[in-house]
Amino acid sequence: IHGGAGSLSKESLSLEADSLYRNGLSEALNKGIEMLQNDAPGLDVVVEVIKLMESNPIFNAGRGSVLNNLGQVEMDASIMDGSTLDAGAVASLQHIVHPIEAARLVMDSSKHVLLSSSPAEEFCLAYQLDSASNDYFLTDKALRALKRSQENSKKFGTVGVVVRDGKGHISAGTSTGGMTNKRYGRIGDAPIIGAGTYANDATCGVSCTGHGEMFIRLSVAHELSAILEHTDLTIQEAIDIIIDKKLPSIEGKGGLIAIDRNGKIAFGFNTRSMLRAFATPSHSAIEIY
């Protein structure tokens, strides 16, 4: 799982904030571990773990989403099933409490892959998804971040989950409020299948975080899958090419987490930090820097 790439450093992060992030990651990771131990399908794990993170205001997704240049939330999310290549995504949601549930609904209950803004919300409401008024999303943290960003500092942060379940099926999902002070209507990489999210049992599952425009231009998530499909590189070698060569060639900042078809977990980022946590049947870890 990841909780976004960004510019946190050991020196700048207070002990209190460090433990808030670690607790948030650990709560989410434990939820995933528990579900997988009970043989839950990977897709359900992706949804439930991301829902927990969307409810935790420390993450830039759901409740804690950053604000656009009008001071509103506009949330993007996507999910993909690596066993069928089915996918669902939503963009520019303003009232849906769990955008990842909306993405799953688009995948399961519509003929489409991506729905956006108020028509997407209407679709969600017809299926009784939870919604909330603007006040729910206007956290102090997001209002402060908007003010800082309007004064010109950059901050990322998104949530993503990649799972390889007991049957060997890979699924991936990503959910975000996007980038602070983005122009209203802007859609990032998170709801774009192949840019911010991708899953294919034959190659890997991927969830990205960072400056979305660059991830769209490089089709980062599908690029990783394509490198694995067409070369003999390991997943870590493939990630290193994308993060250390391709993204920097267009001044792209960010990172990604991935799992390959054999269950190998790998990640990379070219920002100062990327909140992340992993678990295998024998080992788990939480890392920030």
Sign, Cα dihedral of 155, 158, 162, 163: positive
Strands 273-280 and 2-6: antiparallel
Question: What tokens does 33 get?
Answer: 């571990």
* Closest CB to ligand ASP among residues 179, 286: 179
| Segment 145 to 184, residues that bind ligand ASP, using CB under 6 A | 156-158, 176, 178-179
Q: How far is the CB of 190 from ligand ASP (least distance, A)?
A: 5
Q: Which residue in the list 84, 139, 158, 176 is annotated as catalytic?
A: 158
Q: How far is the CB of 41 from ligand ASP (least distance, A)?
A: 26
Listed residue (162, 161, 173, 166) closest to 40, CA to CA: 166
84 is catalytic: no
Reduced to 3 states (helix: H, G, I; strand: E, B; else coil), residue 243 is helix
| Segment 201 to 240, residues that bind ligand ASP, using CB under 6 A | 209-210, 212
* Span from 20-28, 122-130, 188-196, 241-249 in contact with ligand ASP (CB under 6 A): 188-196
Q: How far is the CB of 208 from ligand ASP (least distance, A)?
A: 6
Q: Which residue spans within 153-247 are E strands per DSSP?
A: 159-164, 170-176, 197-199, 204-210
* Closest CB to ligand ASP among residues 99, 196: 196
# residues near ligand ASP by CB under 6 A: 14
Strands 86-93 and 114-116: parallel
Binding residues for ligand ASP (CB under 6 A): 4, 156-158, 176, 178-179, 188-190, 196, 209-210, 212
Catalytic residues: 158
